[in-house]
Amino acid sequence: MSRVNVSWIIAVLAVELATLSAARAHSCHEVKTAFQVRQIGQLKWVPETPATDVDLSVCKHAGPSCCTRRMEDSYRAAVLRDTTQSIRSYSFELKYLISAHAIAFQDTFQSLISFSQNHLTSLFETTYSSLMSSISPHIVCLFTDLSRFLQGTGNVSVEAAVHCFFDSLFPLVHTRIVNPGMAASIDADTSDDNQLGDCLRMTRQDVNPFGTYPKAMANELAEAMRAGRVLSLALGVGSEVMNITDTAELSKECTRALVRMQYCSHCRGLTLIRACSGYCLNVMRGCLASLSELHNPWRQYVTVLQDLSHMVAGAHNLELALLGIRGQVEEAILYAQLNGPRLTATVDKVCGHSSNASSSTEGTFPPASVTPPPANISQDVPGGDTIGMLAHLHSSLPLKTSKSDGGRTLKNVAREFTAYISRYKSFFAILPETLCEAEMGVDELTCWSGNNVVKSYNKRTVGNGVRAQENNPEVRVRSVDPVLMDVKNKLELFNMEIQEIMPGVGHRESWDETGSGESSGECDDEDGCEGSGESVASPPFTEAVTKMSGEVQDPPMTQNNPSSDASLSTASFIIIITLALGLQWPFI
């Protein structure tokens, strides 16, 4: 083959390759492929070749375009769908974290309630069996109210629940333990029984048969359970916030900017190029300006959750208070027995009922093995040694929860929650960056600036929030989202109300994830343990604050309480005299 023929063949091939390349350059094939792969719309809307003078409202430029007006409409729907889905996918984990731990906390609370209820029931089954059938409904009522208080449902008062229980206990103790013969006598006259029982219930706080134990038990439970109730309500507020922000709508200006950023490059046949990172940040911060306004109240709200979780589990206050109910009730009954003569005389004066049915006052004394109210429960009482040890425990009690929990404890749940939730303290502030880094913005040799392919984005990058968008070159933010502003106001109000009912909660800015709920077993001021015992502020609160604290306005109680020390001294003197005389102590 001659040299001329070879040159001619090469020239022909070059012309054919140039023709094919030109044909590809003037084809919308890649645009159609991207349109189909991303499920944007019908393929028939994509032209085969670029056209000029196309009626476009967003992706306008002087050269030929592979886009049509119907394609732009489809791009709008696509960016709304994809961006909303991306926001929801990032918030889903946070929503699940809050809702799942709300359930976990309630499960552990209920485990403690059930265990404590069974513990108190066993006291009456084993030691005061004569009271069991009558006191059982009141035990159920007491722990039902405590459970509702921890769940944050209803206008429940811990103090009222405790005093109601002791009001119902007093007639039983007086007629069946302090004066055991009285019950049989009164049973013959139902009318007398009802009148005496009503009188004893109504005058229990004035007669003060149980000493300081009811008030001490009520105060201890109220202080220990307050943080648990507020935590339950706070988790509900968090779930509500996340549900509302999930449904936040993107503005028309935002939608146009998203179309320009993601799809206007397709109109020029550039389907693989990505938006410049600074350009993406301007667009996303403009679109999420109202959402970013939640950052400050949300950050404080997360700190509130951390503080409350630490208070609930710290030093096992809630566990010890609930499990200590049995000991408080038993000590209260023993106090009534030790002060039997004084109590009977007072009842006769107040309720006008003669105690002749009880021919002997021997029934007013406890067994000889029982001493006046000790620090721990008597070793003779089944399970008493366990309660005595609880005050010295340094590890959380195992709670019976679902099988999949593996015996999770209250402290474990609190530690896990505080560690996870701390990662989302800046969720609303970093959401634009998160969307850009994961989905859109990438640093390459060239990127899309909204109008052209450039080496770098040279416009100013604005910050977060509505005010910062005044200088946003890509998105015009005309107004704030009223729905999100309402959420912001409610979140700020909630944080403020928390401060009123539990001063100091929500001001901790730094947390050690490994130590937020676990320590050597001791709890100092720096750990925030003192918050669990904070008293409720005295000024009147709003209805929402009253619901959080669980307080109700009860009628003032008149405590006609003789000196406790004097009563104990008298009881001790009676015991010494009785032992010296060799008297036999009747067992219940």
Mean pLDDT throughout 73-98?
92
Whole-number pLDDT of residue 399: 42
Q: What is the pLDDT of residues 385-429, one digit of tens each?
A: 433 333 333 334 444 444 444 456 888 899 999 999 999 999 999
Classified as helix, coil or strand, 519 is: coil
Whole-number pLDDT of residue 325: 95
Do residues 270 and 66 touch, judged by C-beta distance below 8 A? no
Whole-number pLDDT of residue 135: 94
Mean pLDDT throughout 463-477?
93
Task: Considering only residues 471 and 531, tell me which one the structure prediction assigns the higher pLDDT.
Answer: 471
- H/E element holding 19? helix 3-25
Mean pLDDT throughout 325-330?
95
Mean pLDDT throughout 466-487?
92
Least confident piece of the model among 58-72, 223-237, 293-307, 499-513:
499-513
Whole-number pLDDT of residue 487: 93
Handedness of CA 466, 469, 474, 478 (dihedral sign): positive
Residue 522 has pLDDT above 50, yes or no: no
Residue 170 has pLDDT above 70, yes or no: yes
Whole-number pLDDT of residue 48: 87
For residues 215 and 356, give the distance between their C-alpha atoms in angstroms, rounded to a whole number.
31
Report the percent of the chain where pLDDT is more than 70.
68
Whole-number pLDDT of residue 439: 56
Whole-number pLDDT of residue 19: 35
Whole-number pLDDT of residue 7: 54
Residues 6+ apart with CB under 8 A from 138: 164, 165, 168, 169
Task: Considering only residues 206 and 553, tell me which one the structure prediction assigns the higher pLDDT.
Answer: 206
Across 322-395, the runs of DSSP E, i.e. the strands, are none
Q: What is the pLDDT of residues 6-25, one digit of tens each?
A: 454 454 344 333 333 333 45
Whole-number pLDDT of residue 506: 77
Query: Among residues 169, 189, 187, which one has the least CA distance to residue 178?
Result: 169
Least confident piece of the model among 9-13, 259-263, 523-527:
523-527
Task: Considering only residues 319 and 182, tell me which one the structure prediction assigns the higher pLDDT.
Answer: 319
Residue 269 has pLDDT above 60, yes or no: yes
Q: Residue holding tokens 């509302």?
A: 244
Least confident piece of the model among 163-172, 195-204, 365-374, 506-515:
365-374
Cα-to-chain-centroid distance, residue 102: 5
The total of other beta-carbon atoms located within 10 Å of residue 408's CB is: 20
Q: Half-sphere exposure of 37 toward its Cβ, with a 13 Å CA cutoff? A: 8
Do residues 212 and 561 touch, judged by C-beta distance below 8 A? yes
Whole-number pLDDT of residue 492: 94
Give the pLDDT band of residue 84 (cuts 50, 70, 90): very high
* Whole-number average pLDDT of the chain: 75
Whole-number pLDDT of residue 580: 38
Residue 124 has pLDDT above 60, yes or no: yes
The predicted model scores a pTM of 0.70
Least confident piece of the model among 8-22, 89-103, 266-280, 309-323:
8-22
Mean pLDDT throughout 238-267?
91
Report the percent of the chain where pLDDT is more than 90.
43
Classified as helix, coil or strand, 398 is: coil
Residue 523 has pLDDT above 50, yes or no: no
Whole-number pLDDT of residue 519: 32
Task: Considering only residues 385 and 455, tell me which one the structure prediction assigns the higher pLDDT.
Answer: 455
- H/E element holding 454? strand 453-454
Residues 6+ apart with CB under 8 A from 286: 253, 254, 257, 462, 469, 472, 474, 475, 476, 477
Do residues 182 and 355 touch, judged by C-beta distance below 8 A? yes
The total of other beta-carbon atoms located within 10 Å of residue 59's CB is: 23
Mean pLDDT throughout 175-187?
71
**CA-angle at 140, arms to 176 and 175, nearest 5°:** 10
The total of other beta-carbon atoms located within 10 Å of residue 566's CB is: 9
For residues 364 and 218, give the distance between their C-alpha atoms in angstroms, rounded to a whole number.
26
For residues 266 and 463, give the distance between their C-alpha atoms in angstroms, rounded to a whole number.
29
For residues 356 and 359, give the distance between their C-alpha atoms in angstroms, rounded to a whole number.
6
**CA-angle at 361, arms to 355 and 366, nearest 5°:** 125
Mean pLDDT throughout 51-70?
85
Q: What is the pLDDT of residues 282-299, one digit of tens each?
A: 999 999 999 999 999 999
Mean pLDDT throughout 26-53?
86
How many residues in the chain?
588
Q: Tokens in use for 309?
A: 């979780």
Task: Considering only residues 446 and 572, tell me which one the structure prediction assigns the higher pLDDT.
Answer: 446
- H/E element holding 547? helix 543-549
Residue 337 has pLDDT above 60, yes or no: yes
Query: Among residues 388, 392, 464, which one has the least CA distance to residue 426?
Result: 464
Task: Considering only residues 87 and 355, tell me which one the structure prediction assigns the higher pLDDT.
Answer: 87
For residues 547 and 537, give the distance between their C-alpha atoms in angstroms, rounded to a whole number.
14
